[in-house]
Amino acid sequence: MRWLGGFSTPTAPVRAPDTGTAWPHLPGCWTVGEWSSHELRTTRTGRRTVALIGTCGATPAELGRMGACGVPDEVSWRWAGSYTTVEVTDEHVRVWTDLGGAWPLYLVRADGGVYWGTSSRALAGLTGGGLDLGWLAAWLVAPAEPLLLAGRSLFDGVTHVPAGHRLTLSPRGGSAAVRRVWWPRPRSCATSGSLRTELAAAVAVRVSAAARPTSDLSGGLDSTALALLAHHAPRTGQAVSGVTVHPAGRAEGGDLVYARAAAKRSGITHRLLPLSAEHAPYTGLDAIPVTDEPPPSTIAQARLSAQLRWMRDELGTDCHLTGDGGDTLLCTPPIVLADLLATGHARRGAIEAVRWARLRRLPVWPLLRTAHRTTRGSRRAALLDFGAALLATSSARHEEGDVGWCAVEEPPPWATEEARRRLANLIKVCADHLDEPLTGEFAVTATSEGVAEVGRSARADVQFAEAHGVTAHNPFTDSRVVDAYLSIPLDHRPSPADYKPMLRDAMSDLFPAELTARTTKGDFNADHYQGMRTNLEALHELADGRLAALGLVDPVVLRRTLTRTAAGLPGPLSHVEPAIAAEAWARVDSATPRIAWSKASFHRTGGAG
């Protein structure tokens, strides 16, 4: 697993990872794994060293100016790409996180100072701490509430620096200060054209450094946009290949119609990969690689592993684009109805409520009533009410189509009282440190938090891909893409009832007519139910494992839930997939030794890289 990090006193780190390599041009820092030269760039002027980590469109001259003049807070969204910025001086170590959470930054206090790094599991090796059961309870019971995971990691004692923040570490006393440096700022010039410009730049900065780039071409709007932008981007390597995975024996219909139409219109090299029943969901879950948290693709690991191996061996891909983050960024959440009511746009709020109600087949008045209630209440109160409902002896009743801050799904039946209690305690802690969003910014707040959650969790999928020799990228979580889209003023923000209209408008010259008219995603639930039935015996065995031993899961109820769901009885997949994914990950984590740390022997060096 690739990662890097450092210590709050760069001239005297006490320990360093045994597998780490001292970063020649960044004092007191190290890298683990293989990194390309364009992913790690540094400059040094006097006693200041500045580093860009990741894919970044900054020129050598622009990097040099930061070395000479210092790093401004807007560095995180100044250039195309996905990157973290580090500044080391005699007085401090500063790190700026990206807006999309794609480069998570973690901290742990040890040896009289603070260690920082891009892997929470690696830092956990310093203290030997176990899993953070509060984080795990939130991930299992309330996966739709990213706010609850803010500032934490899956490992006890390892904290997380939020997206869009600046970390300052002082060598004196080992203090760590975290300050927010980015907020969504409405701009009248932010349009679908801005989205196209930034998304094209995000793609171009990657394929320009690749020899054999590939992109998902699933037939959906997000992956198709990336594939076509990559096809038209300036590059020095080979042509971009669009990859479509489909069930063996079903080479027509469904998403393939849209993927083939996009390939035919653009002329992109189109590669089809048929996969059979052995790649079904829930298959071979003991084969996932070690990562910082359960990868979002855990349930589909057999399919993803086969695709990654094929792209590595057959296509030689050295840069693969995915559409992760597109749904969260581009689909307006229904809480925008509260924004409209709170800012005097009552007529549009009523119209949008009617449209959303028709789309979701809901009664309209509860939508308006709960949206109005959200405008008059606080987010803190909504969060505390959610926590109280978790501990209630009877299920709390919610109005159908509730428009509020917290998801209204009932906790999964297998969640133990201990899991609910830990989650309720975590909710109280979060509520005490919660900043209330400004009026009219409910939707952008929810979206920015959701994108940061997607970016952070998708890092585990990036680690998954790296374990198979493929470098994966998620341009929809890039800082400038996020900033451009969330800068669209409320008056021009799309309706929650419209399916990604800004992306369709931005890509109208490249999308085929069939895709431009598409208003839904492909449905893979049937494959998941079939995979669950096929692997039910193995899933029953997973039910009684680490999570049950930690007191978070009732194995008897989880087995019963799995059996009912596999049989097709009513029940959402969200009631089984988090538990299975977390259990599979926890078993791999416990079977894999933590990163070993030993006495450091780093020394300061000069120069630029």
Structural domains of the chain sorted by starting position, each given as residue range(s) with its CATH number in brackets: 3-183 (3.60.20.10), 192-329+449-516 (3.40.50.620), 330-447 (no CATH)
Residue 603 is predicted with a pLDDT of 40
Q: How far is CA 357 from CA 353, 408, 446, in A?
A: 6, 16, 20
The amino acid occupying position 429 is: V
**Reduced 3-state DSSP string for 204-273:** HHHHCCCCCEEEECCCCHHHHHHHHHHHHCCCCCCCCEEEEEEECCCCCCCHHHHHHHHHHHHCCEEEEE
> What pLDDT digit, counting tens, does each position of 339-365 carry?
999 999 999 999 999 999 999 999 999
Top pLDDT among 187 and 524 is at 187
> Between the ranges 253-257, 319-323, 384-388, where is the mean pLDDT highest?
319-323
Helix (H) or strand (E) holding 115: strand 113-117
Top pLDDT among 394 and 92 is at 92
Residue 519 is predicted with a pLDDT of 79
| Percent of residues, the chain, with pLDDT higher than 70 | 96
For residue 70, which phi and psi values (nearest 5 degrees)? Answer: 100, 170
Instruction: Return the minimum-mean-pLDDT range out of 402-411, 421-430, 503-512, 587-596.
Output: 402-411
> What pLDDT digit, counting tens, does each position of 223-250 carry?
999 999 999 998 766 789 999 999 888 8
Q: Is pLDDT above 70 for 201?
A: yes
Residue 172 is predicted with a pLDDT of 79
Q: Mention every residue, 6+ apart, whose C-beta is less than 8 A from residue 179.
A: 165, 166, 168
Q: Is pLDDT above 60 for 602?
A: no
Instruction: Return the minimum-mean-pLDDT range out of 73-77, 112-116, 407-411.
Output: 407-411
Residue 391 is predicted with a pLDDT of 79
Whole-prediction pTM: 0.95
Residue 605: band (very low, low, confident or very high) from pLDDT cuts 50, 70, 90: very low
Q: How far apart are CA 354 and CA 253, in angstroms?
A: 33
- Per DSSP, the residues of 361-382 read T--HHHHHHHHHHHHHS-HHHH
**Reduced 3-state DSSP string for 137-194:** HHHHHCCCCHHHHCCECCECCCEEECCCEEEEECCCCCCEEEEECCCCCCCCCCCHHH
> What pLDDT digit, counting tens, does each position of 22-58 carry?
888 788 899 999 999 999 999 999 989 999 999 999 9
Closest CA to 485 of 75, 57, 84, 99: 99
Residue 573 is predicted with a pLDDT of 79
Residue 523 is predicted with a pLDDT of 61
Beta bridge partners of residue 79, listed in sequence order: none
Mean pLDDT, rounded, for 314-341? 97
Average pLDDT, the chain: 92
Residue 608 is predicted with a pLDDT of 40
Q: Is pLDDT above 50 for 379?
A: yes
Residue 524: band (very low, low, confident or very high) from pLDDT cuts 50, 70, 90: low
Helix (H) or strand (E) holding 274: strand 269-275
Mean pLDDT, rounded, for 450-476? 97
Q: How far is CA 313 from CA 14, 54, 245, 317, in A?
A: 42, 25, 16, 8
Q: Is pLDDT above 70 for 393?
A: no
